[in-house]
Amino acid sequence: MAQNKIVSFIPNTITLLNALSGCLSITFAFTGNLTAAGFFILLAAVFDFFDGMAARLLKVSSAIGKELDSLADDISFGVAPSAIAFVLVSQALNPDGTALSQLPVCTMVLCLVPFIMAAFSALRLAKFNLDERQTDKFIGLPTPANAMVWASMPFILKYNADGLFANYVIVPQVLIPLALVMSFLLVCELPLFSLKFKTWGFRGNQIRYIFLAISLVLIILMQFAAIPAIILIYVLMSVFAFKADK
């Protein structure tokens, strides 16, 4: 009996590690170590993948696990990426490091815009828990997909500093509108294909295999700069795929 209780807590423990990783990401973001902040979002994504797998393998899914997973995801894939975006925008608009409260109101508001993503991520996760349509597809951009875009940016700045993304994308004129667009995508009624494979055959999984192949090529060619491009391709492929089905 005691062993069964221990086994049942394994998935929730992994989920808590997801939440802990998100907290560490936020901490590193606010202390200026954006690379570490991005790393802990990526680590949170690993834990997010394995908690569900563990629950299915051990057959210990529970209502509390579902709620805990959403709370952890909002920390790691809602607040943490918003913190990275906030720091990136603030560094560009406020290079002198003036206290936020002492900035002009307009500048302060622009710096805080990225946190809209945290609020919309919470809304997206709440909708997901109640939406019975999202069993074999997503309605709206999954929070981890949005988080990967922002987690990649510190690595792009560090390892792809001379590339297109570092010079022309990671600037306030792009980051602020991007935060608003991503917030909209999180909660909009846009159907997106799931990467869950029910079978391994190519038939019925064409779009998944094609997407994974394109993603692999882009990662080889573009390294970390490939991640935002991959998310964009994911959205576009979903739009075309679901329009073709109509």
DSSP for 188-227, please give it.
S--EEE----SS-SSTT-HHHHHHHHHHHHHHHHHGGGHH
The parts of the chain modelled with pLDDT lower than 70 are: 1-6, 134-136, 161-166, 168-169, 197-199, 244-246
Under 8 Å CB-to-CB from 111, ≥6 apart: which residues? 86, 89, 90, 93, 94, 100, 103
Token look-up 């929730």 returns: 12
The pTM of the whole model exceeds 0.75: yes
Per residue in 57-97, pLDDT (tens digit) is: 777 777 787 889 999 999 999 999 999 999 999 998 988 88
Token look-up 């622009």 returns: 110
Cα-based angle 211, 232, 175 (whole degrees, multiple of 5)? 155
Tokens coding 152? 């990649």
Domains and CATH numbers, the chain: 2-192 (1.20.120.1760)
Tokens coding 238? 């979903």
